Structure 1
Amino acid sequence: MSFIYSDKDLVGYVMIKNIRIQNANAVSSPITYGFPAITGFTGAIHALSRKIAVVDGLEDIRLDGVLIACFDCKPQTYREASYKDYTFNQTRNPILKSGKTASINEEGRCHLRISLVIGVYANDFMLEDYQIAKLLQTIRFKIQQQRIAGGSVLSLDRFDPVNYVPAEDINNFSKALLPAFILMNAPKDLTSITEQLQQQNPEATALDALISTATMTHEPIDNAQGMTDWQTKSSKQGRGWLVPIPVGFQGISEIYDAGIMQNVRNPEYPSRYVEAIYSLGKWVFPHRINDLADALWYQYYDNEESLYLVTQNQEF
């Protein structure tokens, strides 16, 4: 159900540790912000895989799937006073030839410190030692020469930047991922919240449940002294750190041949109009995940339903 290379076998995992990223895109969808979209990381790994495939000795190796562990995320925001709303810090660069600033689409940014665990696929079930050494060296250099989620990579871990383990030993990375939080898909929580809302309103939908996780309600409660106290409630209380996340796109038009649609990112490929699809995510400590392999996000395409999704192998 994913873009796993069908002609290759999963042989191991690579962890890129303590990546510092500057000015990543903090606007993950038309209605969510704060952390980059998952597609920003799956896309970066796909680009890295293509670069590795042209290196001598690594032609048969591919990368697919990525676990996202975040240590720190700092949205670049500004607030003039404590009673005013936050706004994103914006820049307009590069400037025009005339020296004036160019008009831009506003883009929120954030600084990140993350670690990534990536699946390694090859023709054989085991890589040779020289292949592993060359793969780690290549990843160490190539990852610092490209963008991740629109941001620039400033540095990797000083002492142990890139590691490799066989496929069955992925959970050896658990301690190295502390004290980060890992982004997991949380469809069970979304279903549970939807059912809870439907007890009060039978017409409530999963969209209502998703919105409820991003809102807080204040209810009056009479205390023992006959006074009124205000209690703050949220549908995600007691369920962990839940966040609405975009998980892909739904096609809403036919697929147009290359060069037909204007102003697309890459006119060399067919294009179509899409809308964002949302779900519920959860930030989870590594020790709460039984198998880290379940935390890797993969790209998935459903031709019949016109779906372009990111998904994990199993529900958390």
Structure 2
Amino acid sequence: MNYPNFYLLFDHVEIQAANTISSPITYGFPALTGFTGAIHALSRKLFSQQVELGGVMIACYDYQILGYKNSDFSDLTFNQTRNPLKKNGDSPSIIEEGKIHLDISLVVEMEVKDPEFYYALNSQDSEQKTQFLEHCKKLLMQQRIAGGSVFQIENVELFNLSEESEIKLALMPAFVLMDAKQILTDITQSLQNGISNNEIMIYPATPNANALDALLEVATLHHIPLSEHATSQEWETFNVNQGKGWLVPIPVGYQAISPLFTAGEMQNCRTTEYPSQYVETVYSLGKWVFPFSLPDDLSQCFWHYNTPQDNLYLITQGA
């Protein structure tokens, strides 16, 4: 995509049974690749109309992880499906998986390359515009997003680039997933220098602390006695996230751990049409942000595929 000239909003997309296991060590909101991949697939279907879709902004209104806890202090266990018996009456093997129901909105960068179609979409009462939006809605309803089935799309709207404030209003009261790698860097530096609270050392200075230590610390609660002989009521809880917003570890792509194999060289691969490579997940930090707290320049809020470089296949946010 050269430069978008519209924003396409898929409002209140209800997804059933999406994949909640976003990486080998994280679960919760689905991986970013589930959404960028769905928009890429949709873009290929619109190619004949000289329309190209680019980055995607992800806003979440509600979610429901399909799991249960025996008590408030128990670990979450994912609900598993009970499949039909085999022909001989035996129970089939259970393939363990985690699912989540979502209510989200997606804002997508869109470039229209046909001048006549561009002017038609700019018209408020254009029948061609109405048909195009209905076509986009129908196509996305036929796809899967993050492994889940699209149950309903409330509305599809088109915005000009100058209508960024209207987009923020349309996303209310959702939270938008933003990149927080700078906060991750700041937390890493704090661990290297040491963290104390009310003159109590919580995390001793560790010069060798790295970003993985910071990610683990984001998910850690420290229960601290206020004095040496503190009673059960004289403890407090500390987390490194305090004052930094709603932070979550997220996978943001992959790093190669093997050479690149030519198409057809790797046996038992899903496809023989493209080169293949073994990879491992790359992690970063994300932040859920209320629409009114988004930057004035909304182009900084869209997740894009990055051009592979140095064996890194990343999804980044911003221009």
| TM-score, normalisation: structure 1 | 0.88
Instruction: Quote the Cα distance in structure 2 between the aligned partners of 1:102 and 1:127.
Output: 57
2:179 is aligned with 1:185: yes
2:75 is aligned with 1:85: yes
Amino acid in the other structure paired with 1:17: D
Structure 1 gap segments, 5+ residues each: none
The match for 2:61 is 71
Relative distance call for 1:188 and 1:94 in structure 2 (3 A) is farther
The match for 2:271 is 266
Instruction: Quote the Cα distance in structure 1 between the aligned partners of 2:188 and 2:111.
Output: 38
Deviation per CA, 1:63-115, whole angstroms, max 9, x where unpaired?
A: 11100000001111122344532210112658766665543542211000000
The match for 1:216 is 221
Give the percent of matched residue pairs that are identical in Structure 1 and Structure 2. 47
Q: Which one is further off, 28-37 or 290-299?
A: 290-299
Bigger RCO of structures 1 and 2 (CA < 8 A, at least 6 apart)? 1
The answer to whether the 8 Å contact 1:256/1:270 transfers is yes
Higher-Rg member (1/2) = 2
Count of residue correspondences: 299
Q: Which one is further off, 287-296 or 183-192?
A: 287-296
2:141 is aligned with 1:114: no
The match for 1:41 is 35
Amino acid in the other structure paired with 2:285: L
Deviation per CA, 1:149-188, whole angstroms, max 9, x where unpaired?
A: 000011111xxx0000122323321111011000000011
Relative distance call for 1:149 and 1:101 in structure 2 (3 A) is farther
Q: SS at the partner of 2:300?
A: helix
The match for 1:162 is 156
Q: Show structure 1 runs of 4+ deviating over 6 A.
A: none
Relative distance call for 1:267 and 1:170 in structure 2 (3 A) is farther
**Aligned-pair Cα RMSD in Å:** 2.2
Structure 2 gap segments, 5+ residues each: 194-204
Q: CA deviation at 1:46?
A: 0.4
The match for 1:292 is 298
Relative distance call for 1:268 and 1:98 in structure 2 (3 A) is farther
Instruction: Quote the Cα distance in structure 2 between the aligned partners of 1:144 and 1:271.
Output: 30
Instruction: Quote the Cα distance in structure 1 between the aligned partners of 2:303 and 2:7.
Output: 13
The answer to whether the 8 Å contact 1:11/1:124 transfers is no
Instruction: Quote the Cα distance in structure 2 between the aligned partners of 1:67 and 1:89.
Output: 29
Instruction: Quote the Cα distance in structure 2 between the aligned partners of 1:150 and 1:101.
Output: 25
The answer to whether the 8 Å contact 2:222/2:239 transfers is yes
Q: CA deviation at 1:259?
A: 2.7
Instruction: Quote the Cα distance in structure 2 between the aligned partners of 1:93 and 1:44.
Output: 28
Q: CA deviation at 1:263?
A: 4.2
Choose the corresponding residue for 2:251, options 246, 250, 271: 246
The answer to whether the 8 Å contact 1:74/1:110 transfers is yes
Instruction: Quote the Cα distance in structure 1 between the aligned partners of 2:28 and 2:277.
Output: 27
Amino acid in the other structure paired with 1:86: L
Instruction: Quote the Cα distance in structure 2 between the aligned partners of 1:136 and 1:100.
Output: 49
